[in-house]
Amino acid sequence: MAQSKLNIQWFPGHMTKAKREMQSKLSLVDMVIELRDARIPNASKNPLIDEIIQQKPRLIVLTKIDKAQSDMTKQWMKALENETTKVIGLNVLKDNCSKIITQAVMELMKEKRDRQIRKGMNPRAVRCMVCGIPNVGKSTLINRIASKKVLETGNRPGVTKNTRWVKVNKEIELLDTPGVLWPKFDDEEIGVLLAVTGAIRDQVLPLEEIAYFALKFMKEHFPRQLIEVYGIELVDNNYKQFLEIGRKKGFLIKGNEVDYNRTIETFLKDIRDNRFGPITWEIYHEMCE
């Protein structure tokens, strides 16, 4: 990774509004469903959400589990769970989202609902606020739970701009909220990890530095995948490594030069498209040291 300090900040105006809206609607919900990216379970945790939801019961859903290492996901799930927080992993596109989420919500709210029944009350549907960082799969998950397209989706950050209610079934109702990133990344690496996995628009990023970080990580932890996918030999110099990748892929421009920018963009796209197989970018035991 380049030695210069990265300054990755992305806090569009609608996110400030989103935080206020979420705080104002907190009294309307029974619990919170927080989506995080299973590849970066810590970096995709938004400190603003802790401040917003306070002590509400929370279901953490680790999405994109098909793109993360299953053994690492299990370690993170165990570590993140506590008395008021339940954690599950989900492949939003393939799993039975409605059944899995409804069951998890009912388990988390069981004591409260049992108390209501003992008092002679008929518990209404559990109202859940759905939140998380951009591009983590909130709208896709809600559409899958509701078994119909009720929200716009897109493989890019910032699709949802406003809060809205979605009635799923007789047991749960969901309040969708826009993806929120915090105003300042206290840890430089958090911003880089969010960038690598696509939570921040590429247009505002120093892509070369992001790619250097990802390449260094993969050389250290996933060298075989790099060699197999690109048919290259690994070298220490990142610049030369990308030149070799570009040549192997035929990304050439005038004068037989490598199209360096295209090579970097393709490398990051290959990561996000899972071409290298499952990768967890936050290794649990290393973060505990």
Provide DSSP, 163-174: -EEEE-SSSEEE
Amino acid 154: pLDDT: 42
Architecture of domain 13-176: 3-Layer(aba) Sandwich (3.40)
Task: For CATH 1.10.1580.10, list the domain ranges present in the chain.
Answer: 206-288
* Predicted confidence (pLDDT) at residue 220 exceeds the cutoff of 80: yes
Percentage above 90 pLDDT, the chain: 54
Mean pLDDT in residue range 42-62: 86
Q: Are strands 126-132 and 31-37 parallel, antiparallel or unpaired?
A: parallel
Mean pLDDT in residue range 164-180: 82
Nearest Cα to Cα of residue 46 among 54, 34, 38: 34
More confident residue, 125 or 8: 125
Residue 238 pLDDT level (bands cut at 50, 70, 90): very high
How far is Cα 147 from Cα 163, in angstroms, rounded to an integer? 20
Q: How many residues does the chain have?
A: 289
Correct CATH for 206-288 of 3.30.2350.10, 3.40.30.10, 3.60.15.10, 1.10.1580.10: 1.10.1580.10
With tokens 């400030």, the residue in question is 16
Partner residues linked to 63 by β-bridges: 37
pLDDT tens sequence across 92-102: 989 999 899 99
- pTM for the predicted model, two decimal places: 0.86
Residue 115 pLDDT level (bands cut at 50, 70, 90): very high
Q: Are strands 58-63 and 164-167 parallel, antiparallel or unpaired?
A: unpaired
Residue 157 pLDDT level (bands cut at 50, 70, 90): very low
* Predicted confidence (pLDDT) at residue 193 exceeds the cutoff of 90: yes
